[in-house]
Amino acid sequence: MGRTGSFDEGSSHTRSEDGSSSSSDQDGSMRRYRSIIDDWDAFVEACEEPAQTTVRRNPLKAHDDFDKQLRNDFDTVNQADWNRNIYRLPGVESPGKSMLHWRGEYYVQEESAAVPVTVLDPQPGERILDIAAAPGGKATQIAAHMENTGTLVANDANERRLQSLFANIYRTGAACAVVTNYEGQNLPLDDRFDRILVDAPCSGEGNECRRSFQAASDDRVDGLADLQKQIIETGVTLLNEGGTMVYSTCTFAPAENEGVVRHALDNTDLSIEPVDIDVPHQNGVKTFETKEYGDEMRETVRIYPHHMQSGGMYVAKLRK
């Protein structure tokens, strides 16, 4: 079901002979990324529609009759093939208004946002770190994979957002979670983890494309890329030998995605592993504008809004 590189990156018809983009691509909008988007028309169309509403069943709390009760609560319910815990609720505007949600039997989560933890593949009994955990969508998904055994350190730098994290941990019954409040790049270095999720603070173009269709400024992207590199370097120190790290963002800017992964490969013990996921996607890009990121980026994954009728996402899998 995925795409495996049939798209010829950099082949925009607006590209000039010297390889630079035309001025129409540099108007501050998402057109800047046209050359690295497989189906531009589909992308634009998807950005004009709201993302499809989806919820993720929580095995820690969901009852045996969850499927039946969910279908009682909502008119149309479709289960995703690639992850049977994902339920699509087309047209539903308030998916959190149900007894099942109150009780923690599901979490309202964009479908593409469920990909990073699926790739991370947490196992019961492990020690896992979620470096930027609030408000808890991926942290609670990790706890469910762990079957509430082992330890999940759910960290977030933002003290105000910790309240949402506490509430979601409690509501979903993620009893294996321990919450900490450190800047990701300044976590204490005395612990070690089997797996680490770096769902990094980013410019959020994956959702901004629906709001304003504006790309992030270079200054903002560069500043975030510096932070993301620092966070990933801290993460490498905290990872056990042979451990797995998943780096993800919800943005399109290659400087925050392939650029950060390139930095990690060049400056740490991390090596790249193929992201093996059965969802529509495009492979990561090896070049963008004047920057080269390398052939290895084909092992990473870009999910655009038109792929899953969801938010944009970038996912890379790394091993120490």
Partner 1 sequence: MDVETYGIRFIRVQDIGLKPTTYALQILDKHIEKNRVELSRSDFVSLLEGDHVTVWDAEGLTKGYVAIEYMGRVMGCGMYQNSIISSRIPKGRAQELQQFL
User: Which residues are part of the catalytic machinery?
Assistant: 250
Question: What's the length of the chain?
Answer: 320
Contacts of 62 (CB under 8 A, 6+ apart): 100, 105, 106
Q: Which is nearer to partner 1, 169 or 272 (CB)?
A: 169
Does position 236 bind partner 1 by CB under 8 A?
A: no
Q: Which residues contact 291 (CB under 8 A, 6 or more apart)?
A: 254, 255, 259
Site string for partner 1, 116-135 (x = CB under 8 A): --------------------
Is 276 a binding residue for partner 1 by CB under 8 A? The answer is: no
CB of 79 to partner 1, least distance (A): 21
Nearer to partner 1 by Cβ, of 191 and 278: the residue is 191
| Distance of alpha carbon 206 from alpha carbon 212, whole angstroms | 11
CB neighbours of residue 274 within 10 Å: 12
Applying CB under 8 A, among 40, 82, 166, 213 the residue interacting with partner 1 is 166
State yes or no: residue 234 binds partner 1 (CB under 8 A).
Answer: no
> Interface with partner 1 includes 99 (CB under 8 A)?
yes
Residue choice 52, 69, 230, 240 for contact with partner 1 (CB under 8 A):
69
Site for partner 1 in 168-197 (CB under 8 A): 169-171, 173-182, 187-188, 190-191
From 153, 216, 246, 308, residue interacting with partner 1 (rule: CB under 8 A) = 153
Two tokens, residue 178: 């321990």
Q: How far apart are CA 216 and CA 253, in angstroms?
A: 8
Residue 21 is given by DSSP the state P
Number of residues that bind partner 1 (CB under 8 A): 32
Q: Which letter, b or e, does each residue of 83-97 get, where b requires 16 or more Cβ atoms within 10 Å of its Cβ?
A: bebbbbbeebeebee
If the CB atoms of residues 149 and 271 are measured against partner 1, the closer one turns out to be 149
Smallest distance from the beta carbon of 44 to partner 1, in angstroms? 37
Residue 250 near residue 210, CB atoms below 8 Å: no
Q: At what angle do helices 137-145 and 162-172 cross, to 10 degrees?
A: 30
What does the per-residue mask of binding to partner 1 show for 190-229, with x meaning CB under 8 A? xx--------------------------------------
Q: Which of 3, 15, 103, 298 binds partner 1 (CB under 8 A)?
A: 103
Shortest Å distance, C-beta 180 to partner 1? 6
- Identity of the residue, 70 or 115, whose beta carbon is nearer to partner 1 in the bound complex: 70
Tell me the H-state helices in 57-161.
Answer: 66-73, 99-102, 115-120, 137-145
Task: Name the 3-class secondary structure at 99.
Answer: helix
Residue closest to 60 by CA, chosen among 152, 118, 141: 141
Q: Kindly tell me which of 101 and 145 has the beta carbon lying closer to partner 1.
A: 101
**Interface ranges with partner 1 (CB under 8 A):** 60-61, 63, 65, 69, 97-99, 101-104, 153, 162, 166, 169-171, 173-182, 187-188, 190-191
